[in-house]
Structure 1
């Protein structure tokens, strides 16, 4: 059954300052035909449009000086869903809490198998990827994410984007011994292989870890350069800039299907509730909802519902947190948080209270409701975990849900859609899109404008969309759930 974003999504903190482009149509009617249609106007769609414009300007082609050249078609208003994870792809943008956290040692692993520990669903332990894919593939994955911090910093400065962007340190805290050992072992494997990002990581254990992190009961912690941002402001600023340079943005325009035509020049017909648009090339920046328009991605990009909150201290003496955090509480439970300049904290996760109940989150697109078992999880969170917050009076100001797009093998699908010439995909970021999407969008732009293959652009080989990946067996999210929850719900699958 086709899956579309639900109406009346829970309202996230990031939408407390709505942008005019929440509801925007550059032209009253859809253009009859264009060169390029981007389906999805969230972080992925906006990044792709921005890079298309930048690249065309650099090449002197000036492809987009007229609105009939490129159309951005969101499925709903720019702010629906928790982070906004709908066919406008706000999914990866707003729910994850604005955490621009490269993965210097986990996702370099890449491969998750049933033989590994349940943690790998969360960590993607580096030793596995290093073992299966080799050093070069591991280097590509880790360095690609690491470069996003600099890339976003340069973007914000170049375009004068006001989005509260901060370069900081990520503090990755282990609250149980097994994961500390596993992470440290993985870091040592990458260091031995001379993976560049591993040199960036500082490790501490014992009392030193608790002192550095400020987290009660820390068994170990890893710190490295990261950033955080107001994601909604970043994406909407990008959209306003591309529209001012000639891109046609059409909100509230659900795409029902994309069909091939007999026209060699305009080979695709994008069918919407408001009519059709013929295009030479189509880009799917649709994340969790990709399989609605590309059935071949069914079970390859799966909607996953998550929950997030904003916590506010009521007393001035609450310690100010300068770093962003990951707290690893058990093999399948972790939380992430970023501090805000106003002293509030954005915290997401809460898997402890709902992960075993598969129906609460897996293949669930209903972000109009909270995840009931977890809705009170964040109450008293800072007091429980952080030293000095016991008398802060911190309370949960807001809780929301949103839909992420988890890929079957833990890596996004970026590049040509197999078997569909002139069609491209940029989706499946598994709740980790902030340090993956922007430069993936740049790779897509280069492929589209220069007719290059994924192998010819700056893109990790493990990201490349391929028929082999679509045909591959296994689904890491379910594998991890089975390892943790057992076989009690197998009949439902």
Structure 2
């Protein structure tokens, strides 16, 4: 029985076809043309995955390694077709939303370090976009995040997190606790009881990843789309690895795994240590009131046990981009865990997402509103969750010359930039950015723990059932 559970929570390779996200309506035709031609016989570095992590690593290495170094990026589908091209479009650090959970599970010191990392990651990501002169292209908008409490349970959790955050000495100088009723009016959500605000941003994530990829390609990096990796084997000649794809094999001196929730598809030792989890997101056209005066915040909407997130685009049709609604699927917090198929939707979640803005925002539903739930585009995407909540960054145990940065727990935009930068420092043999918590890199210990995610979930469900009796 345990064997079946473990096998269930090993990812497949990315599915084809897949649901179409809002961000994929404007695909980069030049990158999409990179499906033809033979694979090179060998490369010094092969990066698997072309999302934000893969593109950042490719660009960083191409800028800093000797010009003769060969770097290849392999992508199973089209460029940035995974989680980067399917997320909520916000760069929102988890400065309070998950602090209680981190503190309870890992202690105050680890929780504070994680908060500091995500704050720094936000700042560095925005600085990078501006330094590379990509702000206009990727539609960067700087605004405030609002973590909103929608009921009494959520309010108590938000208050406790706020108090704990200040108690551990975290930097809250740019944060503010907002009480109702003024808050409800400001965020345009009548049900809101309180909120905590702090700096955040919105962005077109697919365009960010592909813009960075183009810069890497300009430095000599080779991108091959429609090239899923089927397996990695030890090559006859040390220290190379043989990468098998439907288009042939490729010898690699070093391999970087940037596949997030799909990592276990080619690293079977990650089965039940880094598991895929299907989430859902949506894009809804706004009514006149929200088109003329769009929301000025990104949102984390807290319901106690459930959590939704959203932004509103300030460009073009100004759609609301949002996701979550996980408990609607079956009443189970863990719906979607183990599912790596983004070609399908959970119908209950999709219906709830379509109704969400009409049920949540003031004046979204009005006589002048020509939009309806049927106009909403819904898609799915695959996140990656690790055994202990935090990304796996560093050398792959037992596989000399292989590296990984994956398992962002649904918070890739809040973690990926600094994780990718640190991984490149490690690859080059440099001192690694000390803002990255040291336990991120302790993969020997974290991967060999007898604990599994399926066992954790079974234990949690048993405890919940007992407390409900």
State how far apart, in whole Å, the 1-side matches of 2:35 and 2:286 are: 42
Aligned-pair CA distance for 1:479: 5.8
**Which whole-Å CA distance do the structure 2 matches of 1:374 and 1:484 have between them?**
26
**Range with bigger deviation, 350-359 or 237-246:** 350-359
Q: Give how far 1:284 is off.
A: 0.6
Which position in structure 1 is the counterpart of 2:90? 99
Offset, 1:474? 4.5
CA spacing shift, 1:483–1:339, aligned 2, 3 Å: farther
Q: In the alignment, which residue of structure 2 is the partner of 1:403? A: 382
In structure 2, C-alpha distance between the alignment counterparts of 1:398 and 1:247, rounded to whole Å:
34
Partner of 2:356: 381
CA contact (8 A) 1:383 1:394 kept: no
Q: Which SS does the other structure have where 1:148 is aligned? A: helix
Q: Residues 173-221 of structure 1, C-alpha deviation per residue, up to 9 Å, x if partnerless?
A: 111112221222122122122112x333211223233133221121221
Q: Where in structure 1 do 4 or more consecutive aligned residues deviate above 4 Å?
A: 316-319, 357-360, 483-487
State the partner residue of 1:88: none
> By how many angstroms is 1:134 displaced?
4.8
Selected match of 2:325 from 332, 350, 369: 350
CA–CA distance in structure 1, aligned partners of residues 459 and 345 of structure 2:
23
Residue number in structure 2 paired with 1:200: 174
Moved more, 266-275 or 216-225: 266-275
The CA distance in 2 between the partners of 1:140 and 1:261, in whole Å, is 40
Number of residue pairs the alignment of both structures matches: 446
CA distance in 2, matches of 1:100, 1:27: 34
Structure 1: runs of 5 or more not aligned: 57-61, 86-90, 110-123, 488-493
What SS class does the counterpart of residue 375 from structure 1 fall into? Answer: helix
Counterpart residue number, 2:79: 78
- Report the Cα offset of residue 257 of structure 1: 1.3
- 3-state SS of the aligned residue for 1:450? coil
Structure 1 residues 102, 243: closer, same or farther in 2, change over 3 A? same
1:470 aligns with 2:447: yes
1:298 pairs with 2:271:
yes
- Counterpart Cα distance in 1 of 2:231 and 2:125: 33
Distance 1:354 1:240, change over 3 A: same
2-structure distance, mates of 1:343, 1:31: 43
- Secondary structure in 2 aligned to 1:29? coil
Query: For 2:340, what is the secondary structure of its paired residue?
Result: coil
Normalising by structure 2, what TM-score?
0.88
1:244 lines up with 2:218 in the alignment: yes
Q: Post-superposition shift, 1:389? A: 2.3
Q: Is the 8 A contact 1:302 1:406 kept in 2?
A: yes
- 1:351, distance to aligned residue in structure 2 (A): 1.6
Is 1:168 matched up with 2:139?
Answer: no
User: Please, what is the CA RMSD of the aligned residues?
Assistant: 2.5
Corresponding residue to 1:336 among 309, 332, 338:
309
After TM superposition, list the pairs within 5 Å mapping 1:70-469 onto structure 2. Answer: 70-78=71-79, 84-85=81-82, 91=83, 93-107=84-98, 109=99, 125-128=101-104, 132-135=106-109, 137-161=110-134, 162-196=137-171, 198-264=172-238, 266-316=239-289, 319-331=293-305, 333-341=306-314, 342-356=317-331, 361-391=336-366, 392-395=369-372, 396-450=375-429, 458-469=435-446
Distance in 1, Cα, partners of 2:228 & 2:102: 39
Deviations 1:429-468 (A, max 9, x none): 111100100111111111112266x6x7652224224122
What is the match of residue 70 of structure 2?
Answer: 69
Match 2:59 to one of 50, 53, 60: 50
State the Cα distance separating 1:315 from its structure 2 match: 2.8
Say whether 1:11 aligns with 2:20: yes
SS in structure 2 of the partner of residue 379 of structure 1: helix
Q: State the distance in 1 between where 2:334 and 2:114 align.
A: 31
Superposition deviation, residue 383 in structure 1:
2.8
Distance 1:294 1:187, change over 3 A: same
Aligned to 1:117: none
Change in 2 beyond 3 A, CA 1:205/1:355: farther
SS in structure 1 of the partner of residue 217 of structure 2 = helix
Task: Check the 8 A contact 2:282/2:354 in 1, yes or no.
Answer: no
Q: SS of 1:234's equivalent?
A: helix
Instruction: Note if contact 2:92-2:414 (Cα within 8 Å) is conserved in structure 1.
Output: yes
Work out whether residues 174 and 218 of structure 1, in 8 Å CA contact, stay in contact via their aligned partners in 2.
yes
What is the Cα deviation at residue 353 of structure 1? 1.6
